[in-house]
Amino acid sequence: MTLQLGLVLCLLGAAIVMFALDRPRADGVGLLMMAALPFTGVVSMQEALAGFADPNIVLIALLFVIGQGLVRTGVARRLGDVLATTAGSNETRLVAMLMAIVAGIGAFMSSTAVVAIFIPIVLRIAHNTGLAPRRLMMPLSVAALVSGTLTLVATAPNLVIQGELVREGHPGFGFFSFTPFGAPLLVLAIVYMLLTRRWLNGSTAPSAARPSPRRGLGHWIEAYGLAGREHRFRVLPGSPLAGRTLAEMALDHLPGVNVLAVEHRSRFRAKLLPPSTRIAAGDVLFVDVSVPTIDTDELARRFGVTREPLSGGYFSGHAEEIGMAEVMIPPGSGWIGRTVPETRLRAVHDVSVIGLRHGSSASVDAVLPERIEAGDTLLVVGLWKSISKLRSDMDLVVFNLPSEFDDIAPAASRAPFAVLAVAVMVTLMVTGAVPNVHAGLIACLLMGLFGCVDLPSAYRSIHWPSLMLIVGMLPFSIALQRTGGVDIAAHLLVGAIGDAGPRTVLAALFALTAVLGMFVSNTATAVLMAPVAIAIANELGTSPMPFAMTVALASSAAFMTPVSSPVNTLVVGPGGYSFMDFVRVGVPLAGLAMAQCVALVPWLLPF
């Protein structure tokens, strides 16, 4: 062993210890290693920084943006709603569908983001069906981890390994090269979780298993006496409203009548618009009538509209687009002493006040003549986008939002375009028409062009700590290869078990990668093990593809501890799990995954 190799191994050992202790943060460790490695004399500072120019690093950043587009357009959450309505209370069907949907989404976006999206969905399903959340949370995390084995872009380790193959002059993997291994693994994981559900029985602390939810729209509908006040009217041809705004008709100040939103149908879909919209024939008005003595039939004849059926109590059937908020009037507000019309809230923010609370008593009558006092609470209704903008108004404090606010996709109308952008990316990657990073860039630009993401949300969506970790650890691959560390590791592994055959070497490589992944992130594990896998293939005189694929599959088999992956860590609290729950369920599953890998990989990727 040379002095330089010893220095590199000391730094690697220090990095692993810091990863295990989580001190400092993983991306901080990456930066430390990037700064320290040039002092060994093995890599230059320019080489230590070369990861920033790696196409796979850029592609990973682009995939975060594409995933954000799927979140903002509600594509992922709509699939969760399909799960809730289709699976019903049948636990077997629920677990199977949950894992299939999560894995399917995770094949195209960050598994951590998928779990974050689905935790509230699963908690809501558990509450509605009476199931313990701990029986659903671990299947959720397992499916998210398995999703990394379905496509090339499903997880960062796949791209890291792909990049190492290309750097070594090998053809690399295609977009769906992982699918023949990942799909059977998903089926295996679903069957395994269905058979081992009894291991997840037991009581959980209420605070851990089921956090107290915020009150929803239903609570406010009851508290403010809103039931029966909702109406939908379609504007008929020849109506005096057609071609005009509510302000022009003075309808926005008609006592006891509030137009909350306007539903306009285009060629492809209907969408809700704010009440300041210029109305057209065929539009549907969402109207709150707070005074019981108002004759709505006479109102309909007067304005040339006809009744339309309702969906859900007080428009709750449209909760994805229209919502409520409670706002408080702070001392010193310019609204104090004014009536609601005098605040011009609708003109400025496109929301309507439909309820007023003085102290503990809520007003259920018309609120227009009421004088606003400091400390009053107003219930406002409008489109979620308009409600979100209320936070910038210094004359009020938005202090209470319903639980439905967490489920709102700000660009829900753009969902078909988000799916189209992903389809274009997959098609370009599968056909090889352009490099993968170019396909990802095109998909990101399409997301922006179609309004699925904006620049601020795109930049916020990129998980910079993950990128810094990968960039910081990549120089280790160069350093270990130059100092002979990779060849030594490959020689030792082959020398120890090489006589037992290539399949045994695959099993040992899988086990080593999975165990290392218990202490180091799966991305860092892939950075370290990918060159070892290729060196083992060279030592045995075989193709590197089965060995590289084994490392990729093992990098996603982080089932064994709650700290093996952020995916596991996220479900510990909601599921009320202990460390041993993951050991009891995860270790056998990792063993089954290894057995399946050893059986399938040489068959589909011959030595």
584, part of any domain: yes
Q: What is the CA radius of gyration of the chain?
A: 29
445, part of any domain: no
Structure tokens at 198: 């009894």
Question: Do 596 and 546 reside in the same domain of the chain?
Answer: yes
pLDDT digits (tens, 9 = 90+) for 25-45: 777 888 898 899 899 888 889
pLDDT recorded at residue 22: 66
Q: What sign does the dihedral 348-459-428-74 (CA atoms) show? A: negative
Q: Quick one: DSSP state of residue 253? A: G
Lowest model confidence (mean pLDDT) among 170-174, 381-385, 481-485, 584-588: 481-485
pTM: 0.63
Question: Do 303 and 387 reside in the same domain of the chain?
Answer: no
Average pLDDT over residues 75-96: 77
Question: Do 519 and 593 reside in the same domain of the chain?
Answer: yes
pLDDT recorded at residue 185: 94
Average pLDDT over residues 200-224: 60
Structure tokens at 262: 């306007």
386, part of any domain: yes
User: Does position 375 have pLDDT exceeding 80, yes or no?
Assistant: no
425, part of any domain: no
Distance, first Cα to last Cα, the chain: 31
Packing angle between helix 156-167 and helix 522-540, nearest 10 degrees?
30
Question: Do 111 and 175 reside in the same domain of the chain?
Answer: yes
Lowest model confidence (mean pLDDT) among 48-62, 284-298, 478-492: 478-492
Question: Do 497 and 578 reside in the same domain of the chain?
Answer: yes
Under a CB-based contact definition with an 8 Å cutoff, are residues 241 and 235 in contact? Answer: yes
**Which of 179, 147, 177 lies closest to 545, judged by CA?**
177
At residue 149, what are phi and psi to the nearest 5 degrees? -100, 10
pLDDT recorded at residue 117: 67
Under a CB-based contact definition with an 8 Å cutoff, are residues 8 and 42 in contact? Answer: yes
Q: Quick one: DSSP state of residue 275? A: T
Q: Give the full edge-to-edge strand order of the sheet including 257-265.
A: 270-273, 257-265, 284-289, 230-235, 305-308
Structurally, how many domains does the chain consist of? 4
507, part of any domain: yes
Q: Select the more confidently predicted residue: 572 or 511.
A: 511
| Other residues' Cβ atoms within 10 Å of the Cβ of residue 478 | 20
Question: Do 154 and 221 reside in the same domain of the chain?
Answer: no
Domain boundary among 318, 337, 353: 318
Query: In which domain, by residue range, is 236 found?
Result: 217-318
pLDDT recorded at residue 20: 67
pLDDT recorded at residue 446: 93
Under a CB-based contact definition with an 8 Å cutoff, are residues 157 and 110 in contact? Answer: no
At residue 118, what are phi and psi to the nearest 5 degrees? -85, -15
Question: Do 205 and 88 reside in the same domain of the chain?
Answer: yes
Tell me the H-state helices in 238-379.
Answer: 246-249, 296-303, 340-343, 345-349
Question: Do 115 and 9 reside in the same domain of the chain?
Answer: no
pLDDT recorded at residue 206: 38
Distances (CA, A) of 30 to 291, 390, 466: 64, 41, 10
Distances (CA, A) of 392 to 274, 341, 389, 406: 18, 20, 6, 19
User: Does position 222 have pLDDT exceeding 60, yes or no?
Assistant: yes
- CATH number at 327 reads 3.30.70.1450
Question: Do 590 and 501 reside in the same domain of the chain?
Answer: yes
Q: Select the more confidently predicted residue: 562 or 455.
A: 455
Question: Do 400 and 289 reside in the same domain of the chain?
Answer: no
403, part of any domain: yes
Question: Do 204 and 114 reside in the same domain of the chain?
Answer: yes
194/91 Cα distance (integer angstroms): 9
Domain boundary among 256, 288, 318: 318
Q: Quick one: DSSP state of residue 278? A: P
Average pLDDT over residues 451-479: 80
User: Does position 499 have pLDDT exceeding 70, yes or no?
Assistant: no
421/428 Cα distance (integer angstroms): 11
Domain boundary among 407, 426, 447: 407
201, part of any domain: yes
Question: Do 84 and 205 reside in the same domain of the chain?
Answer: yes
What amino acid is encoded at 75 in this protein? V
331, part of any domain: yes
